[in-house]
Amino acid sequence: MAGPKEPPKPEQAKPSNDNPTRAEQRRTDWTIIKRLMTNVWPKKDWKTRGTVLFGFLLLVSAKLLNVQVPQLFKWVIDSLNVDITSDSTVWLLAGTLIVGYGAARIGATLSSELLNAVFANIGQRAVRKVARETFEHLLSLDLKFHLSRQTGGLTRAIDRGTKGITFLIQAILFRIAPTALESSLVCGILTYKFGWDFAAITAGAMVLYTWFTVRTTSWRTQFRRDANKADNKAASAAVDSLINYEAVKHFNNEKYEIAQYDKHLSAYEKASVKITTSLAYLNSGQNVIFSSALTLAMFLAAQGVVNGTMTVGDVVMVNQLIFQLSLPLNFLGTIYREMRQNLLDMEVLYKLVEENQAPKDLPDAKPLALQGGSIRFENVAFAYHPDRPIFRNLSFEVPAGKKVAVVGPSGCGKSTIFRLLFRFYNPSFGQIFIDGQDITQVQLESLRKAIGVVPQDTPLFHQDIMHNVRYGRLDATDAEVVEATRKANVHRTIEKLPLGYKTQVGERGLMISGGEKQRLAVARVLLKDPEILFFDEATSALDAHTEHELMRNINSLLLEKARTSIFIAHRLRTVVEADMIIVLKEGEVVEQGTHEELLRAKGLYYSMWQQQASLEAVVAPEEEPDVEVDEAIRLVAAEQAKANGVEVNEPIKLVAEEQAKARGVEFDEAIRLVAEEQVKAKGVGDDGVIEVAGEEQAKANTKQATDNTKQAKDNLKQAKANEKQAKVNEKQANANEQQAKANSQKNEPVAGERE
């Protein structure tokens, strides 16, 4: 067998740079735009490509018609610059030109609007694709990412990023490219009609305008980044407080939470003020540049009229052509500003993909081939943080189809076993096998499909009970869901609810009790019916009776289907029937064996058992007032004796207890004395060791001890009832005796009376 080896490690996230250089920012922006353009011109999608080509045809048509409007307006002015007579009419002088002027404007507007309608489907499809891919990527990331994320800030950033996709596509295709085309046409017309000086003024103004806009907007980018950061923090603080609403109320910390939220809002306010004031500077500079160019062009045109080289219509045409550029140029500033903002927002989406790589299957990975479900940890080392190792050299084996319990002090790594088995994390060293197959060499989906888990913190969706249980197997019928809830001992509780299975459980299941949440989680995993079951403190919120009934159903199911199961428990009495118990301490296996074997070993498990037995004995009077402490001691002593394979002898127990009281010894000593008397009664040697005839006999003895304990309690109640009745009878006898004496005195002869 191959020795242990290090599993493939996921790619490390690149450090995030909150203040990139201009060159880095440009590279990031171009990367985002290139990826986004794949949605506009997708491979082998000729329908989308045809739509894009049709859209560009409409774009060119709109701009050609748009530059004809000033030309037609010039002709209308020149046609009216004649002597007007009584026979003159508008139609004769400029009717056709005016109609053409109106048709050109209408045609340009219709082409632009039709262009928007044609590209609407492409933009929305891009939004859907990017949002779906982002969500899919988030679900595929490892547990480490989701434990460190802030839900509110993440959802806010994703929302802003997806909303910016449509704007970016429209800005690039409908604003930047059309503006460049229109500017080229205007410069060409001015050069052809009026000379290079008009074109030079226009081109120079556009270059200066664009340079000023880009430089100023780049300077303003940091303000937008600061605003986004503050907005994310404010959203995270708000969501955190609302999710933990009960904790806020328990500790009267409403003012603190409001102050934290307001702190982030204050930072957002400051950044927003900078954005607004810098926008005023940007708009003022743009207006000065454009108005200066327009004024200079009008001066040259007026000089042409004075010189006789230009007509009044030419002046109007120059004004209209240049002024017509003001709208796209002004919008260019807005477009560039919004593009910068949306690129920053989309940067979060793409960084999620670049900096957080999801775990991937190996190229030659095969589906998990189950052959019973045996599990083996071999020299496993793992740490959530390098300075705090959880496992150092963990090795154990879970036989196929057996019930195994993992116990130990808090923080010894019991729950981490499941996280490694489920491949939420990879061990830093060592290997984990299922039926002899290294889990890093099999397909992740097949691995997780074979494992069912009931976690400590039960996750429920803000849906009804039927949906939450059916989530274990989405194609299950209503009848199968109900059957699973019966096995989980929660069906009757659901039936008592006003809406039954349609009852909403609230966000994270906050509208139902902890015990009900745990039983719903058990029902869900029973509905999934995987080959390997993992119960992590699955009954910690249940009362003793409900826990007993639920465990009985689970145990019968495990025996019936021969499922491999692992139980993590702090209450040891819930796992006494396990086929094997593994005891962990400081990340290593210190003991393993059956309940009886571990008790006889008198190690860590024995110590934990004795502590819990003592606590249960002390709590017993509160749970059942009619059972006194001494009786509880006798009952536990009887159970301990049965576990050791000896019979319960009440007289010996009573003698042992009286000896314990007389000697002033504690509870554990009383149990020891009982065991000692039983040993003597059985004629065993001085060492007091009673051999148990096999594992099955030990289990039978344990079950018999439980039955005897219950019978002892019933006998005690009956004895008390008999004692009470005896006292009543005694009182009645005393009363009868007094009555007899009274009657006897009454019948005696009076002194001096004759016979």
As a dihedral over the C-alpha atoms of residue 131, residue 137, residue 142, residue 147, rounded to 10 degrees, the angle is -10
Please tell me the distance from the alpha carbon of residue 62 to that of residue 105, in angstroms, as a whole number: 9
> Which two structure tokens, joined as six digits, stand for 159?
């929302």
CA distance 294 to 284: 15
More confident residue, 137 or 750: 137
Between CA 466 and CA 477, with CA 471 as vertex, the angle to 5 degrees is 60
Q: Which of 119-123, 192-196, 731-735 has the weakest average pLDDT? A: 731-735
d(CA 527, CA 109) in angstroms, rounded, equals: 61
Task: Identify the weakest region by mean pLDDT among 231-235, 260-264, 282-286, 663-667.
Answer: 663-667
Q: Residue 617: which of 670, 577, 693 has the closest Cα?
A: 670
Q: Is the pLDDT of residue 357 over 90?
A: no
**Residue written as tokens 């989308």?**
48
Q: How far apart are CA 188 and CA 686, in angstroms?
A: 117
User: What is the DSSP code string of 36-89?
Assistant: HHTTTS-TT-HHHHHHHHHHHHHHHHHHHHHHHHHHHHHHHHHHHSS---TT--
Which of 98, 344, 111 shows the shortest CA–CA distance to 217? 344
Token reading at 148: 């460190």
**Sheet (strand 437-438) strand order:** 388-398, 375-385, 429-434, 437-438
Express each pLDDT in 714-730 by its tens digit.
Answer: 666 666 666 667 666 66
Contact criterion met (CB below 8 Å) for 399 and 579? yes
**315 pLDDT tier (thresholds 50, 70, 90):** confident
Give the model's confidence band at 507: pLDDT under 50 very low, under 70 low, under 90 confident, else very high. Answer: low
Phi/psi of residue 429, nearest 5 degrees: -160, 155
Note whether 414 and 403 are within 8 A (CB). no
Give the residue with greater pLDDT, 288 vs 80: 288
Distance (Å, whole) CA 280 – CA 287: 11
Write the DSSP symbol of residue 363. Answer: T
What is the bridge-based pairing of β-strands 429-434 and 437-438? antiparallel
pLDDT of residue 593: 92
Q: Which two tokens stand for residue 511?
A: 């509208």
- Residue appearing with tokens 């061990």: 427
pLDDT at 263 over 60: yes
User: Could you tell me where the DSSP H helices lie in 244-253?
Assistant: 245-250
CA distance 186 to 750: 152
* Mode of pairing for the β-strands spanning 580-585 and 564-568: unpaired
Range scoring the smallest mean pLDDT among 166-175, 232-241, 297-306: 166-175
Residue 38 has pLDDT above 80, yes or no: no
pLDDT of residue 753: 37
Alpha helices for 404-543 (secondary structure H): 414-421, 444-449, 465-470, 478-487, 491-496, 514-528
Q: Which domains are seen in the chain, by residue range? A: 22-355 (1.20.1560.10), 375-617 (3.40.50.300)
Highest mean pLDDT among 14-23, 354-363, 533-542 belongs to: 533-542
The Cα 89–Cα 507 span in angstroms is 76
Residues 413, 424 contacting (CB under 8 angstroms): no
Beta-bridge partners for 452: 533
- Rounded to whole angstroms, how far apart are CA atoms 408 and 422? 21
Beta-bridge partner residues of 437: 434
- Can you say whether residue 376 is alpha, beta or left, with left for phi > 0 and alpha for psi between -120 and 50 degrees? beta
Instruction: Give the separation between CA 507 and CA 517, rounded to whole angstroms.
Output: 12
Buried b (16+ CB within 10 A) or exposed e, 300-310: bbeebeeeeeb
Whether pLDDT at 389 is above 90: no
- pLDDT-derived band at 736, boundaries 50, 70, 90: low
Confidence category of residue 751, pLDDT binned at 50, 70, 90 = very low
241-256: average pLDDT: 82
Which residues, in sequence order, are CB contacts of 25 under 8 Å at separation 6+? 221
Mean pLDDT over 174-201 rounds to 82
For the chain, the first-to-last Cα distance in angstroms comes to 119
Q: One-letter amino acid identity for 671?
A: I
Closest CA to 126 of 36, 33, 28, 31: 36
Q: By the 8 A CB rule, do 63 and 321 touch?
A: no
**Of the segments 121-125, 339-343, 351-355, 489-493, which one has the largest average pLDDT value?**
489-493
Enter the pTM of the model: 0.56
Indicate the helix (H) or strand (E) that contains 296: helix 254-307
Could you tell me which residues come within 8 angstroms of residue 130 by beta carbon, excluding any fewer than 6 positions away?
36, 39, 161, 162, 165, 349
Q: Which of 36, 328, 49 is nearest to 164 (CA)?
A: 36
In this structure, the strands spanning 437-438 and 451-454 are: unpaired
State the number of CA atoms in the 13 A half-sphere of 97 facing the CB.
16
Tokens 């025996």 -> residue? 559
- Residue 267, classed as helix, strand or coil, is helix
| Contact of 282 with 215, CB cutoff 8 Å | no
Percentage of the chain modeled with pLDDT above 70: 73
Is the pLDDT at 243 greater than 90? The verdict is no
What is the pLDDT at residue 270?
A: 92
> Which of 173, 188, 269 is CA-nearest to residue 223?
269
Contact between 170 and 39 (Cβ < 8 Å): no
What are the tens digits of pLDDT across the range 657-702? 554 444 444 444 444 544 455 444 444 443 433 333 334 444 555 5
Q: For 189-216, what is the mean pLDDT?
A: 86
pLDDT in tens, 554-570: 777 777 778 898 998 88
- Return d(Cα 46, Cα 44) in angstroms, integer: 6
Quick one: pLDDT at residue 268?
A: 92
How far lies 706's CA from each of 601, 632, 642, 696, in Å? 22, 13, 9, 16
91-105, 140-154, 161-175, 289-303, range with the lowest pLDDT: 140-154
Question: Which of 124, 122, 27, 133 has its CA nearest to residue 347?
Answer: 27
Mean pLDDT, the chain, integer:
76
Gap between the Cα atoms of 232 and 157, Å rounded: 7
Helix, coil or strand: residue 5: coil
Residue 584: is its pLDDT beyond 80? yes
Burial 702-731 (b: 16+ CB within 10 A, else e): bebbeebbeebbeebeeeeeeeeeeeeeee
Contact between residue 578 and residue 566 where contact means Cβ atoms under 8 Å apart: no
Question: Helix or strand or coil: residue 471?
Answer: coil
Q: Is pLDDT at 282 greater than 70 in this prediction?
A: yes
Q: Once rounded to an integer, what is the mean pLDDT over residues 697-709?
A: 55
Number of H helices, E strands in the chain: 24, 10
DSSP for 174-197 reads IIIHHHHHHHHHHHHHHHHHH-HH
Residue 378's pLDDT is 92
